[in-house]
């Protein structure tokens, strides 16, 4: 037996889909427009608020759709720092969303921009060795509505609009391609959330075929690559996905991307002591960055409990940066915000789901606590 379909979040629907529902209900088209306004422009959190729609219509809608499908389970951090939101989904699973108040160095953002780091999946299948998100494996894709709802919930909670979106939360966005691109269309649309495409960055572990596909996507979004290794030999130890799509395949896909796009690519490169922080890696990275015309974000590794690696000294970090800069590569060293609140993605959710017994802690000796190593 197939389980009943859960009520659909209206935040994941485009006007044409809403119009089709109203046609089916035998309702005039202007009513569909009214609903779109309630959902997006007025951000109605309940059907009761939609006072210009007939009561019977609202009741009919409420049997099939929901205005909200998730709730804020926990907020850490404060208004002038990085705030992390743990969100509870309709099926009892959790994802994280991180609000970063001012972020001068990131993605062409200005210093007064509020950036939201959004999740695209519950868990992750790619098993990057530095990351807490994949520690307990992959559970499911988020729907387009669940992706959009993260922004809507955080904006309502914070009482302010978000200017920049980065798909760098839990999950691999390009492994959830159709829901991701639908969410981006809704987030970008004037009738939707109204965030400029150039202020949205999709970050990927390097799924080469999907990068080529995304190059054809009409909205001018930005792309960041989680590189973390500048040679196959080093990258393979950090990111198993490199065995599926090695650096040559990845860079061929990036050529396709660059052929279609004017914006600079970004390479994310986490510096991990004695693994990828040596001077030869810095030279290899400089060469790769020049070949792909990419800017580089260096991120000192955040300790994840249960994982063996450590952050290099600041001198090592600075020496690595200096190689890139001298080679003419635009590079920043991002001394992480939110280090104290588990801002490395996936850690809060892992702790929550472990404590609730939804998943077993993947850390054998430490079955419960995931440190606040951020």
Min dist CB 224 to ligand SAH, Å, is 7
247-260 vs 279-292: helix crossing angle, rounded to 10: 40
180 CB contacts (<8 Å, ≥6 apart)? 120, 144, 147, 167, 173, 174, 202
- Closest Cα partner for 241 from 332, 128, 336? 128
Q: Among 61, 344, 359, 363, indicate the residue that binds ligand SAH (CB under 6 A).
A: 344
Which position among 61, 221, 299, 350 is part of the footprint of ligand SAH (CB under 6 A)?
Answer: 299
Q: How far apart are CA 96 and CA 100, in angstroms?
A: 13
Using CB under 6 A, which of 113, 301, 348, 350 touches ligand SAH?
301
Per-residue interface string for the shown chain with ligand SAH, residues 162-191, x marking contact by CB under 6 A: ------x---x-------------------
Token pair of 344 as six digits = 């490395």
**27 or 317, CB closer to ligand SAH?**
317
Q: Which is nearer to ligand SAH, 68 or 129 (CB)?
A: 129
DSSP conformational letter for 41 = I
Dihedral over Cα of 322, 166, 350, 132: its sign: negative
- Between CA 215 and CA 265 the distance in angstroms is 12
User: Is-catalytic flag, 96?
Assistant: yes
To the nearest whole angstrom, how small is the minimum distance from the Cβ of residue 237 to ligand SAH? Answer: 15
* Minimum CB distance to ligand SAH, residue 168 (Å): 4
Closest CA to 332 of 288, 268, 283, 280: 268
Residue 345 contacts ligand SAH per CB under 6 A: yes
Binding span for ligand SAH by CB under 6 A among 11-19, 49-57, 188-196, 301-309: 301-309
Largest CA distance in the chain: 69
Residue of the chain from 32, 254, 265, 304 that contacts ligand SAH (CB under 6 A) = 304
CB of 276 to ligand SAH, least distance (A): 12
Between 109 and 148, how does the x/- string for binding to ligand SAH read (CB under 6 A)? ---------------------xx-----------------
- Measured CA distances, 174 to 14, 102, 238, 286 (Å): 21, 27, 19, 26
Residue among 95, 98, 270, 289 that touches ligand SAH (CB under 6 A) = 270
Give the per-residue contact string, 226-265, with ligand SAH (x = CB under 6 A; - = no): x---------------------------------------
Q: How far apart are CA 281 and CA 47, in angstroms?
A: 56
User: What is the Cα gyration radius of the chain?
Assistant: 21
Q: Is 201 in the site for ligand SAH (CB under 6 A)?
A: no
Q: Is residue 268 involved in binding ligand SAH (CB under 6 A)?
A: yes
Is 302 near ligand SAH (CB under 6 A)? yes
Q: Of 49, 345, 355, 360, which is the active-site residue?
A: 345
Those residues whose C-beta lies under 8 Å from the C-beta of residue 331, and which sit 6 or more positions away, are 289, 295, 296, 297, 298, 321, 324, 325
Q: How many residues lie near ligand SAH (CB under 6 A)?
A: 16
DSSP class of 43: -
Does residue 342 bind ligand SAH (CB under 6 A)?
A: no
Q: Which of 179, 181, 203, 266 binds ligand SAH (CB under 6 A)?
A: 203
Active-site annotation holds for 131:
no
Task: Tell me which stretch binds ligand SAH (CB under 6 A): 150-158, 251-259, 294-302, 324-332.
Answer: 294-302
* CA 242/CA 234 separation, integer angstroms: 10
Residue number with CB closer to ligand SAH (27 or 97): 97
E-assigned strands of the chain? 8-9, 65-66, 71-76, 83-88, 94-100, 115-117, 121-123, 138-141, 164-167, 200-204, 222-226, 265-271, 294-300, 331-333
Active-site residue (options: 24, 96, 185, 336): 96
Tokens of 5: 């379909």
Instruction: Decide: is 85 part of the binding site for ligand SAH (CB under 6 A).
Output: no
Where does this chain bind ligand SAH (CB under 6 A)? 130-131, 168, 172, 203-205, 226, 268, 270, 299, 301-302, 304, 344-345
Catalytic residues: 96, 345
């Amino acid at each position: 037996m197939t389980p009943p379909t859960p009520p659909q979040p209206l935040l994941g629907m485009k006007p044409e889909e809403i119009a089709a529902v109203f046609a089916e209900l035998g309702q005039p088209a202007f009513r569909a427009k009214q609903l779109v306004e309630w959902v997006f422009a007025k951000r109605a959190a309940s059907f009761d608020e939609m006072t210009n729609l007939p009561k019977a219509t609202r009741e009919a809608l409420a049997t099939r759709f929901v205005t909200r499908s998730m709730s804020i389970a926990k907020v850490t951090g404060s208004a002038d720092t990085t705030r992390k939101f743990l969100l509870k989904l309709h099926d009892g699973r959790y994802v994280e969303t991180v609000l970063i108040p001012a972020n001068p160095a990131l993605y062409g953002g200005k210093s007064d921009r509020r950036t939201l780091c959004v999740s695209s999946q519950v868990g992750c299948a790619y098993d990057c060795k530095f990351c807490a998100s994949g520690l307990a494996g992959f559970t499911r894709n988020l729907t387009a509505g669940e992706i959009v709802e993260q922004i809507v919930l955080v904006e309502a909670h914070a009482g302010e609009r978000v200017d920049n979106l980065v798909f760098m939360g839990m999950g691999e966005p390009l492994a959830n391609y159709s829901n991701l691109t639908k969410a981006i269309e809704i987030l970008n649309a004037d009738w939707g959330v109204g965030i400029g495409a150039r202020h949205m960055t999709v970050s990927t572990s390097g799924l080469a075929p999907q990068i080529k596909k995304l190059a054809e996507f009409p909205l001018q979004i930005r792309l960041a690559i989680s590189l973390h290794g500048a040679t196959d030999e080093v990258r393979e130890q950090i990111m198993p996905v490199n065995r599926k799509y090695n650096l040559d395949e990845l860079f061929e896909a990036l050529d396709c991307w660059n052929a279609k796009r004017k914006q600079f690519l970004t390479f994310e490169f986490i510096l991990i002591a004695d693994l990828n922080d040596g001077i030869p890696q810095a030279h290899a990275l400089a060469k790769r960055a020049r070949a792909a015309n990419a800017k580089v974000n260096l991120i000192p590794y955040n300790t994840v409990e249960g994982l063996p690696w450590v952050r290099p000294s600041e001198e090592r970090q600075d020496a690595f940066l200096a190689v890139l800069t001298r080679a003419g590569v635009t590079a920043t060293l991002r001394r992480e915000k939110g280090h104290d609140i588990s801002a490395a993605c996936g850690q809060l959710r892992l702790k929550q789901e472990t404590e609730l017994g939804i998943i077993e802690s993947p850390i054998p000796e430490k079955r419960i606590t995931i440190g606040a190593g951020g």
